A and B are shown apart, each in its own frame.
Chain A
């Protein structure tokens, strides 16, 4: 199958290219040749970019199929232009055994939709006590090891886990949150939580854990990716760690560059997220940190939750928001707010996460996997439950009017979504 996408505005963040042009695809790869195509896609007025790469998207399989299935969430991914995604290990059971990872990979592959990169559990059952068989899990397809949102309170275990992972060069992806300081908290410990009477999580729950983690990176030289920063202090610690040359990277969830604790309003359970939405100052620091490169990339932190899980008082509501289908419009909105061009904006969901994941996609160079998105940056998106393909309709952005709609999604040279 040979494809020719013509008349589009081709944006390739990896090379900085941004201009009118054509993209040719042959044999599942981006092609330099301009021969006759089996199919021509007219991208007049549209942007042609590498498919998006999301470092945190929960597919809810195995174990939580009533919240979402691989099928529903893969549809959501493709509708959102996400062609590669990493899924955290907090399934039920968690991804702590090679057999489970293998099954997930096979299920995902059989659907031949987006590429799924499982992130294995760092400790058995995510309990933070016993290391998983990282070698066997890596053989089964795990690209990194993580605790998802489960705490790892024991610093002895954390230290050993980083040493072990560093021995074999496995990347470790961790959230920075002190288990004790975060215990029982559901909102940023500040004026809003005080007013609403919600138990708070202080910002230093993140910075203390992050300082500990960075100290252990210094000692072990493990490759650590810090997931979903939430505080200005966290951004500052990462800035210094990178200046020092530590082998670290980090991301932020798209919600956290747009929203803050004020958005909780009158207990909006769609704003019940992990980590919590923090102050305006934190939000602005995250947004700027993402713009200046301190924060490497942005993820959707896609977490489908069924209605019952959200129709509860704030503290009892299940945390998380659906995000795969809003990643593009919300990233465009962030880029505009920071006066960034399209290449710099899209880099945060293409070339940058590709670098962290260590994959060849995320760029439009000849020979790269033909994962391509064609989107209309101006088309409006009215966020409503019925427009979301994800089984999770839970998002704080319900009712927002955003811009940026995917028209065509291509994975490995196959057109897998068209609108």
Chain B
């Protein structure tokens, strides 16, 4: 296989396209840099001049509010100029091709493209066609990857659990369609987490998922037993009824995180969710708002992690 398209000739991070294939030291560099930015986000003047004069283009081919906003905040805190483009309602409907859109924006002197696209691999295509000084950050592509979400999940886990080398982490829900799960799994295995579990019915697991280095559980209580970290995934509305699942109620009965199911995990287990949550479908409100939940800190850390990623790629 070719050299990873996200590293430059010196092996530094040129683009962030996927956590898969990233060396452990680059992952740690991002987490450590993010650590230093957490302080910035808590100051009264929440700005550093690292990206002053740089243009960050938020290129969202798929609707998103949360991820786009956190990237925007992160870029602004680095003093960059941010341009938000909601492509779903502009050029795409006029038939402009993905690469034409990017070439046009590139002509407007972009430095960083933040890309969200419904097709797996779209940011790789863009990264192959941008100029050498431009950087692409994947903000979620199809089912493939959502590396900054994976990194903020890793950051959150490290924040609460310190040491990756003795953890048991369970990811619960729609693994089949989840780019969040794929990115997190690669990050956890790269950082040496000894046991990564996925818990889902067969219909929500992709073929050969074990090859990613995970243990598969269908029974949630067995899967959650003695876990340090529980990551719940969002179940999309359109998947709640159909050939994959009979109903949201039945899903909650088997795979919804309730206090009694969580009781089999370790007493100090943390509960995470990439948001937005479906309360009563994949997670019960008492758990989402309970003492184990670190769902809101995840959002806060997400800004520091995105600042770290942007400042690192822009410096390479």
* A196–B179 alpha-carbon span in the complex (Å): 9
**Which of A265, A267, A311 counts the most B-chain CB atoms under 10 A from its CB?**
A267
The answer, yes or no, to whether A15 is at the interface (CB within 8 Å) is: no
Number of A residues near B (Cβ < 8 Å) is 24
**Which of A269, A312, A313, A314 counts the most B-chain CB atoms under 10 A from its CB?**
A313
Chain B residues near A190: list those with CB within 8 A: 207-208
Q: How far is the CB of A33 from chain B (nearest CB, A)?
A: 57
The answer, yes or no, to whether A189 is at the interface (CB within 8 Å) is: yes
B106-114, B120-128, B304-312 - the one binding chain A:
B120-128
> Known interface pairs A200-B206, A312-B98, A312-B125. Does A191 touch B117 (Cβ–Cβ under 8 Å)?
no
**Which of B121, B122, B141, B209 counts the most A-chain CB atoms under 10 A from its CB?**
B121
Q: Are A314 and B119 in touch, CB under 8 angstroms?
A: yes
Q: Mark B137-172, 1 if CB is under 8 A from A, else 0.
A: 000011111000000000000000000000000000
The answer, yes or no, to whether A315 is at the interface (CB within 8 Å) is: yes
Q: Mark A164-198, 1 if CB is under 8 A from B, else 0.
A: 00000000000000000000000001110111111
* A31–B208 alpha-carbon span in the complex (Å): 58
Q: Are A265 and B121 in touch, CB under 8 angstroms?
A: no
* A190–B209 alpha-carbon span in the complex (Å): 8
Chain B residues near A311: list those with CB within 8 A: 97-99, 125
Q: Are A196 and B207 in touch, CB under 8 angstroms?
A: no
The answer, yes or no, to whether A81 is at the interface (CB within 8 Å) is: no
Q: Mark B1-24, 1 if CB is under 8 A from A, else 0.
A: 110010000000000000010000
- Give the residues from 189 to 219 in chain A that come closer than 8 angstroms, CB to CB, to chain B: 189-191, 193-200, 202
Q: Are B120 and A198 in touch, CB under 8 angstroms?
A: yes
Q: Are B97 and A265 in touch, CB under 8 angstroms?
A: no
Chain B residues near A195: list those with CB within 8 A: 20, 182, 211-212
Q: Are B119 and A315 in touch, CB under 8 angstroms?
A: yes
Q: Are B121 and A196 in touch, CB under 8 angstroms?
A: yes
Q: Are B2 and A194 in touch, CB under 8 angstroms?
A: no
The answer, yes or no, to whether A154 is at the interface (CB within 8 Å) is: no
Residue of B whose beta carbon sits closest to that of A269: B125
> Known interface pairs A195-B182, A197-B179, A313-B125. Does A265 touch B206 (Cβ–Cβ under 8 Å)?
no
Q: How far is the CB of A316 from chain B (nearest CB, A)?
A: 5
- Residue in A194, A312, A316 whose CB lies within 8 Å of B209: A194
* A193–B208 alpha-carbon span in the complex (Å): 9
Q: Are B142 and A197 in touch, CB under 8 angstroms?
A: yes
The answer, yes or no, to whether A386 is at the interface (CB within 8 Å) is: no
Residue of B whose beta carbon sits closest to that of A186: B120
> Known interface pairs A195-B212, A200-B207, A311-B99. Does A266 touch B145 (Cβ–Cβ under 8 Å)?
no
The answer, yes or no, to whether A308 is at the interface (CB within 8 Å) is: yes
> Known interface pairs A194-B206, A194-B211. Does A267 touch B1 (Cβ–Cβ under 8 Å)?
no
Q: How far is the CB of A190 from chain B (nearest CB, A)?
A: 5
> Known interface pairs A191-B207, A197-B142. Does A314 touch B121 (Cβ–Cβ under 8 Å)?
yes
Chain B residues near A202: list those with CB within 8 A: 207
* A308–B96 alpha-carbon span in the complex (Å): 11
> Known interface pairs A197-B142, A200-B206. Does A267 touch B120 (Cβ–Cβ under 8 Å)?
yes
Q: Are B141 and A197 in touch, CB under 8 angstroms?
A: yes
Chain B residues near A199: list those with CB within 8 A: 143
* A195–B18 alpha-carbon span in the complex (Å): 11
* A233–B59 alpha-carbon span in the complex (Å): 44
Q: How far is the CB of B70 from chain A (nearest CB, A)?
A: 22
Q: Are A313 and B207 in touch, CB under 8 angstroms?
A: no
Chain B residues near A200: list those with CB within 8 A: 206-207
Q: Are A266 and B212 in touch, CB under 8 angstroms?
A: no
Chain A residues near B120: list those with CB within 8 A: 196-198, 267, 313-315
* A315–B211 alpha-carbon span in the complex (Å): 22
Q: How far is the CB of A267 from chain B (nearest CB, A)?
A: 3
- Residue in A189, A191, A197 whose CB lies within 8 Å of B182: A197
Q: Are A197 and B211 in touch, CB under 8 angstroms?
A: no
> Known interface pairs A197-B141, A311-B97. Does A267 touch B207 (Cβ–Cβ under 8 Å)?
no
Chain B residues near A194: list those with CB within 8 A: 206-209, 211-212
- Residue in A189, A266, A316 whose CB lies within 8 Å of B207: A189
* A106–B211 alpha-carbon span in the complex (Å): 54
* A200–B5 alpha-carbon span in the complex (Å): 24
- Residue in B124, B206, B212 whose CB lies within 8 Å of A193: B206
* A195–B141 alpha-carbon span in the complex (Å): 13
Chain B residues near A267: list those with CB within 8 A: 120-121, 124-125
Chain A residues near B143: list those with CB within 8 A: 197-199
Residue of B whose beta carbon sits closest to that of A198: B120
Chain B residues near A265: list those with CB within 8 A: 1-2
- Residue in B5, B99, B125, B145 whose CB lies within 8 Å of A197: B145
Chain A residues near B207: list those with CB within 8 A: 189-191, 193-194, 200, 202
- Give the residues from 70 to 97 in chain B that come closer than 8 angstroms, CB to CB, to chain A: 97
- Residue in B2, B97, B144 whose CB lies within 8 Å of A196: B144
Q: Are B209 and A313 in touch, CB under 8 angstroms?
A: no
- Residue in B5, B206, B208 whose CB lies within 8 Å of A266: B5
* A87–B306 alpha-carbon span in the complex (Å): 52
Chain A residues near B124: list those with CB within 8 A: 266-267
- Give the residues from 208 to 246 in chain B that come closer than 8 angstroms, CB to CB, to chain A: 208-209, 211-212
Q: How far is the CB of B126 from chain A (nearest CB, A)?
A: 9
Chain A residues near B142: list those with CB within 8 A: 197-198, 313, 315
* A266–B211 alpha-carbon span in the complex (Å): 17
Residue of A whose beta carbon sits closest to that of B18: A266
> Known interface pairs A197-B144, A266-B2, A267-B124. Does A313 touch B117 (Cβ–Cβ under 8 Å)?
yes
Chain A residues near B99: list those with CB within 8 A: 311
Q: How far is the CB of A317 from chain B (nearest CB, A)?
A: 9
Chain B residues near A196: list those with CB within 8 A: 120-121, 144
* A179–B150 alpha-carbon span in the complex (Å): 35
Chain A residues near B117: list those with CB within 8 A: 313
**Which of B2, B20, B143 counts the most A-chain CB atoms under 10 A from its CB?**
B143
Q: How far is the CB of B205 from chain A (nearest CB, A)?
A: 9
* A225–B121 alpha-carbon span in the complex (Å): 36
Residue of B whose beta carbon sits closest to that of A310: B125
Interface residues of A (CB under 8 A from B): 189-191, 193-200, 202, 262, 265-267, 269, 308, 311-316
- Give 9 CB contacts A-B under 8 Å: A193-B206, A194-B212, A195-B211, A197-B145, A265-B2, A266-B2, A311-B125, A315-B120, A315-B142
Q: A266-B2, A314-B120 are in contact. List 17 more A-B contacts (CB 8 A).
A: A193-B206, A194-B208, A195-B182, A195-B211, A195-B212, A196-B120, A197-B144, A262-B1, A266-B5, A308-B97, A312-B97, A312-B98, A312-B119, A312-B125, A313-B120, A313-B142, A314-B119
Q: 7 closest pairs, A vs B, by CB?
A: A197-B144, A267-B121, A197-B143, A313-B119, A194-B206, A191-B208, A197-B120
